[in-house]
Structure 1
Amino acid sequence: MLFFSEAGIRALLALLTLVLLSACASAPQPLAALSCDDAYIALEELAVQRGISLGEPRRVHGFPSLGTNRGLASFDPGLLTPRQRGDWLARLQAAGVERRRLLKNMLRDSAVHRPLPSELTGFDFQSCDRQDPMAVDDPVLDWDVLVDALKVDDDYVTFRRALGLYPLSSIFAGLGIESLQSSIHDSYALPLNQIPRYGRLRRYSLASPAQTAKSKQNRAATLDGIGRDSLGLRLDLESAAALRDLFVRHAPTVEIDELGPYDIPGEPYFDENGSPGVAIESASAYRYASLMPFAGELHLQLNYVFWFDQRPSTAAMDSLSGALDGLVWRVTLDSSGEVLLYDSIHPCGCYQQFFLSDRVEARAENAKLREPPLIPQRAPSTDGPVLRISSGSHYLQRVYASSSEVADGVANRSYELVNYSGLYSLDSVEGPRSLFDTNGIVPGTERGERFYLWPMGIRSPGAMRERGRQPTAFVGRRHFDDADLFDKLFKRVQR
């Protein structure tokens, strides 16, 4: 029989207590004890651990339930009425719900390869998301802290501009931009039938059987079905049907000088080596809606993104060529649902062009900008215009009404509209993954121009980018989704 002294018994009890405490500390946290904010933060941290990034909507540090973007961050709560502040907070929460929906889909898709932690698998996110937004009169809410947390950093790397002697190097970049814009103006001055062609012209229009019938009746589609609050137009689930109709009504026809498979719009994917490509079995355009403040009100924007497999090389050292290319076509509508203006970029943020209706004009101050907006022609008075696109470079060469001019010998094909959020969950050998990396760049689409344009401060110039991460100016700072973009460059014409 073993005998213990009193001191030995106390030591043994202390050891047992320590073991029990350690076991409790290492046990999984009960699901019931996980708060909504804890779950939101855990979801964000897991996404970071797995290299998953989402640029739209953005995360709001310190406010786990909210999401933001450049438009939402542009509101000044000090200039809003109490009701408007409440609606603004509701929009921020709705953006948070949308962000978590996308993140959960991205994380859930990879569950086969890396299962989710149990505390997130069984957590009721929907119950949390249904909670009322924070109250305007909440004494805990610090408006200054919130406004600061909502800010969206620009996509320029300032220290690169410092190292690259930006004040000097931007002069040479500006000269190159001036030359490019001059050549584009010259191209638009040519009659349509004199634009150089190197292959067969092929037209892609939104013309599947269901959409064809619907498009005829949707020529009268308006903004009546789009949600509204005290701030103006609002994008929500109730707006989905009206948005679908408007996307059909304003869908462009793309007329491409087709010389090779790289001129066929399709669906991005990753091959067995993890390199990006575009499947062309079915032509597609990726759509998403956005809101842009202009002249004192929010305007609905319809975004159509066409992807191409590559921009092929045309010389031994072509610094602009590389994997993937594309065209983004944006339609900005007025309060009656009519076109206010069009604009376009490539997914890299490059080659932005504006096409203004007769209700918008450029500001005279633009002439003083070192990189002024490129306005090669007026917008045609039509829904769903034809976009003439060059072979290989996929430059936009003309925008015209389909009924006004029709090129001879054009082959026709249709394309389908696909939700942009599908780009966040593409198949790969490692399981579904986002097309974009943590910097919002499509990996493997780097261009040679990055070696001489890095002093402009743009990370990997020429590479394909995610929405919300597209700088559009080499000289100065502009983004495709800047909330003050239109107000800075244009003004409404009073009629």
Structure 2
Amino acid sequence: MRIRRLLVSFVAASLVAACAPSPKLAEPSGFFIALKTCRARYAEMDAKIDAAGVRDGVFHRVPGFPYLRSDRMLASFRDEVKTVDEIGGWLRRMREFDQEAREFEFENLGLNAQERAILRGEFLNCGRGLAALEFDNPDNFKLVHDTMSPPDAYSSGTRALGLYPLTQPLLRASVRRHEDRVRAEFAKPRSELLGTGTPLRWQVQPVEDVSLIPAKVSEAYPDELGFPGLVDSAWRAIAEVNAPELLMAQGAGARQLGLPVWLADGHGGTRLDIDSAQAQVHYQIGFTRFGAERLIQVNYFFWFRTPDALPGEVPVDGLIWRVTLDNELRPIAYDSARASGREHFWFAVRHDLPRQVRPQGPAPFFPQESLAPAEPSLLLDAASGGVRGVTASDSSLAARRYTLARYEDLYRMPLPGGGSRSLFDRDGHIPGTRMPAPEWYAVSGVPQPGVLRHFMRLPVSYLGEQHFDDAFVLEQAFAPMLPVVATGR
């Protein structure tokens, strides 16, 4: 009976989604007459993008509104935007996400700079004009409110079939055994974790002027939703100052830090590989909500050529390291995850930030009890490639340098025969990748466990649901500190 009820609920939800209401369209006239062909132009261009297989897999396309795309952070404000300025800023960000995604789609479609510039201007005007025209109707605002949340990275179909409830005890036991092994490995000496390989220390190559970094985030011209605004050089300077050091093994059979590249496969196609001659790390500036605060997060993406790829899979692995900064741009917490979503670890940096006692979702995992340093060195296990220690730097080891590049560079990687293609497919997966993970973990709702993913399409728990880019992800691990309120005495 339980399985039948779940199936009925799943079918009913699917029917509701299929019958979702359409936007209320107004007939452009007068000042808006130039918008008359805009929706047809969006449909025409989207059809070309889909036919070429170059649809961007990052932001969620809001159904019925081809000029709006969203993410989990923007969706978290949908019940909070009230004033004209807040609503305007909220909608503007969704239009900006669409413009950003289309820029990569146009480039991967093979359009030249002039063609892209013409389309950029055309769709900028279309999006701005349609938003002004169509959001005079409150029904359209409600429709966006109800449909703008990105879909779960978990398969609701698998869970609806009842497999997850039946296997949850096995999943829980398997996850707990792995966590016990990880804690034991964190306690091992460095030499044992590095194995027989020679230790190799990687540090960031500084480029930017750190004086561009403001003293406080609150002084950085926040927008209508409270997000700070800085020039690109300042964001990059923040990323450089907080970039971690890597300590890993080198030598034959060891993982090699490098840059993802498309290569010719010798059969008229392409294959993905890692160019270890280019030690490049990608970064992405993000934000998290923590109580009433908007905190900056810097995400770092390390790519490795692996000696232990599964048969038929590309030899690529990835690691994400995230730094959360307070209002004075000091680290308050770290977390890391494999690019497949496995091993989501948390690390405390300060004593005065209490851990969450009753998390709303899956319990956070802290593999080491000691505080992590403000300038961390990440010890990578030679056997698994995972983080197995966060310690202070060892200046006795000679260091090599890696360079920082924007994460968006991965959306338009050069092809060997000319043109470009994203590292990610339309589902946010990196095709052909699959790191070791138990296949039966798919019953948790995580499709294709082990496949490397975009960080905004990354499930990081097999017990319950947790996405790496959840707007309140920090509150899963730490409790927001209440501001001190003056009593007037």
Query: Does the pair score TM above 0.5?
Result: yes
Contact 2:258 / 2:275 at 8 angstroms: preserved in 1?
A: yes
Aligned residues: 444
Partner SS, residue 278 of structure 1: strand
Q: What is the CA–CA distance in structure 1 between the aligned matches of 2:367 and 2:203, rounded to whole Å? A: 25
Aligned to 1:17: none
Q: 1:98 pairs with 97, 100, 107, which one?
A: 100
Gaps of 5+ in 2: 1-33, 485-489
Q: Secondary structure at the match of 1:363?
A: coil
CA distance in 2, matches of 1:390, 1:364: 30
Does residue 399 (structure 1) correspond to residue 390 (structure 2)? The answer is yes
Distance in 1 between residues matched to 2:461 and 2:98, nearest whole Å: 29
Kindly state the Cα deviation for residue 123 of structure 1 after the two structures are TM-superposed: 6.7
Contact persistence 2:253–2:307 (CA under 8 A)? no
State the partner residue of 1:282: 278
Task: Classify the secondary structure of the residue corresponding to 1:46.
Answer: helix
1:376–1:257 distance in 2 versus 1, CA, 3 Å: same
Q: Which of these two proteins has the greater Rg computed from alpha carbons?
A: 1
Residues 33 and 179 of structure 1: is their aligned pair in 2 closer, same or farther, counting only changes over 3 Å? closer
Gaps of 5+ in 1: 1-31
Asked if residue 309 in structure 1 is aligned to residue 305 in structure 2, the reply is: yes
Q: Which amino acid aligns with 2:225?
A: L
Between the aligned partners of 1:48 and 1:262, the Cα distance in structure 2 is 39
How far is 1:57 from its partner? 2.4
Structure 2 residue 234 is the aligned partner of structure 1 residue 242: yes
CA contact (8 A) 1:320 1:449 kept: no
1:123 to 1:297, Cα distance in 2 relative to 1, 3 A: closer
Q: For residues 66-85 of structure 1, what are the structure 2 equivalents within 5 Å?
A: 66-77=68-79, 80-85=82-87
Asked if 1:107 is matched to 2:109, the reply is: yes
Picking from 373, 381, 404, the partner of 1:390 is: 381
Match of 2:48 in 1: 46
Match of 2:226 among 226, 232, 243: 232
Please give the alpha-carbon distance, in whole angstroms, between the structure 1 residues aligned to 2:39 and 2:231. 28
Distance 1:95 1:226 in 2: 21
Name the SS of the counterpart of 1:265 in structure 2.
Answer: strand
Q: Which residue is equivalent to 1:453?
A: 441
3-state SS, counterpart of residue 468 of structure 1: helix
Are residues 1:365 and 2:358 paired?
yes
The letter for the 2-side match of 1:270 is W
Matched residue, 2:474: 486
The letter for the 2-side match of 1:476 is G
- CA distance, structure 2, for counterparts of residue 192 and residue 489 of structure 1: 27
Residue identity matched to 2:448? S
1:143 deviates by 2.5
SS in structure 1 of the partner of residue 222 of structure 2: strand
| Partner deviation per Cα, 1:249-285 (whole Å, 9 max, x = no partner) | 1111111122447522211112222222110112010
Q: Secondary structure at the match of 1:248?
A: helix
2:258 equivalent to 1:266 = yes
CA distance in 2, matches of 1:381, 1:335: 18
Residues 424 and 453, structure 2, Cα contact 8 Å, conserved in 1: yes
Match of 1:476 in 2: 464
Residues of 2 paired with 1:326 and 1:349: CA distance? 10
Q: List aligned pairs for 1:17-28, cutoff 5 A.
A: none
Task: Report the Cα distance in structure 2 between the residues aligned to 1:69 and 1:483, rounded to whole angstroms.
Answer: 9
SS in 1 for 2:231: helix
AA matched with 1:361: P
Q: Which residue of 1 aligns with 2:249?
A: 257
Query: Which position in structure 1 is the counterpart of 2:422?
Result: 434
Match of 1:154 in 2: 152
Tell me which residue corresponds to 2:295: 299
Alpha-carbon spacing, 1:434–1:219, altered in 2? closer, same or farther (3 Å): closer
State whether residues 311 and 322 of structure 1, in contact with CA within 8 Å, keep that contact through their aligned partners in structure 2. Answer: no
Shift, 1:400, TM fit: 2.0
Which TM-score applies when normalising by structure 1? 0.80
- In the TM superposition, what is the alpha-carbon distance from 1:135 to its structure 2 partner? 8.0
Kept in 1, the 8 Å contact 2:321–2:336? The answer is: yes
Alpha-carbon contact 2:340-2:435 (below 8 Å) kept: no
- SS of the aligned residue for 2:42 comes to helix
1:85·1:136 contact (CA, 8 Å) conserved in 2? no
- Report how far residue 170 of structure 1 moved: 2.3
Distance 1:78 1:361, change over 3 A: closer
Percent identity of the aligned residues?
25
- What secondary structure, in the 3-state scheme, does the structure 2 residue paired with 1:251 have? coil
SS in 2 for 1:391: coil
Q: Deviations over 1:344-381 (max 9, x none)?
A: 11111111111123242222225x97654335245434
Are 1:350 and 2:332 matched, yes or no? no
Q: Is the 8 A contact 1:319 1:449 kept in 2?
A: no
CA–CA distance in structure 2, aligned partners of residues 482 and 424 of structure 1: 22
Alignment partners' CA distance in 2, 1:87 and 1:151? 17
Would the alpha carbon gap of residues 353 and 93 (structure 1) be closer, same or farther in structure 2, given more than 3 Å must change? same
SS in 2 for 1:365: coil
SS at match of 2:217: coil
1:40–1:311 distance in 2 versus 1, CA, 3 Å = farther
Q: Deviations over 1:180-228 (max 9, x none)?
A: 11122222234556645330111111125x45xx45x578765367441
Name the counterpart of 1:421. Answer: 408
- Cα distance in 2, alignment partners of residues 63 and 481 from structure 1: 23
How much does 1:166 deviate? 1.3
- Equivalents in 2 of 1:88, 1:458: separation in Å? 30
Q: What's the CA shift string for 1:415-447, capped at 9, x where partnerless?
A: 111111111122335642111122211111124
Residues 199, 476 of structure 1: CA spacing in aligned structure 2 closer, same or farther, 3 A cutoff? same
Relative to structure 1, the CA distance from residue 320 to residue 401 in structure 2 (aligned partners, 3 Å threshold; closer, same or farther) is farther
Q: 2:89 aligns with which of 87, 90, 93?
A: 87
- Is the CA contact (8 Å cut-off) linking 2:346 and 2:364 kept in structure 1? no
* CA distance 1:184–1:46, shift in 2 (3 Å): same
**Residue identity opposite 1:204 in structure 2:** W
Corresponding residue number in structure 2 for 1:223? 217
